[in-house]
Amino acid sequence: MMDGILNKLLPESANNDFRGHKIALWGFIAFTLLMTWRSIIHMFFEKYGFHEIANFSTITGDPDPMILIYRFFSLWGFAQLIFCVVCWVVIFRYKALIPLMYLLWLFEWSFRTFGYPFIREDIAVQGIYTVGATPGAVGAPYITFLLIILFSLSLIQKK
């Protein structure tokens, strides 16, 4: 059984033959579209994303710390966008790797849900730096659950 799952995650041939459930394929496309939009907002509209979407407060100081914070937020968006480009390459050329990509997304979102609460104090919950909950913090458990379902469907072989 473990060999079968490993072969689905790392197929011998990374071709365009996706053998999982059709819902997993379309779910991956929709999720990648959403994550690409998120990445573009973080990268190019960092002030809007930081304040209006993520609900973070403006921090004042001399020199202005927000310039550096916006830069890191934008770089984070760029890193996200790089992964999204890889996902788009998989969608158009290497669909056999979709289960592996789901697993990588699952690592990211499940770590937000279960990992960060143990290793970092949650600044979003404190309310010191925020004026409301961030969508990523609120949505992470639901997205993790959705990704588990879609990942499982991606492993089911078509008949």
Cα dihedral 39, 40, 45, 51 sign: negative
Write the CB contacts of 70 (distance below 8 Å, at least 6 apart in sequence): 46, 47, 50
CA distance 95 to 87: 9
| Crossing angle (nearest 10°) for helices 22-44 and 66-93 | 150
Give the CA count within 13 Å in the CB-facing half-sphere of 86: 13
Q: DSSP for 54-76?
A: S-BPPP--SS-THHHHHHHHHHH
Per the model's pLDDT, the better-predicted residue between 145 and 54 turns out to be 145
pLDDT digits (tens, 9 = 90+) for 3-60: 788 888 888 889 999 999 999 999 999 999 999 999 999 999 999 999 999 888 999 9
Residue 14: exposure state from Cβ atoms within 10 A (0-12, 13-18, ≥19) = middle
The token pair that represents 26 in the structure block: 């379309």
Phi, psi of 56 (to 5 degrees): -85, 145
Cis, peptide link before residue 63, omega less than 30° from 0: yes
The token pair that represents 43 in the structure block: 């990268």
The token pair that represents 144 in the structure block: 């993790």
pLDDT digits (tens, 9 = 90+) for 63-75: 999 999 999 999 9
User: Is pLDDT of 124 > 70?
Assistant: no
**Could you tell me the pTM of the whole model?**
0.90
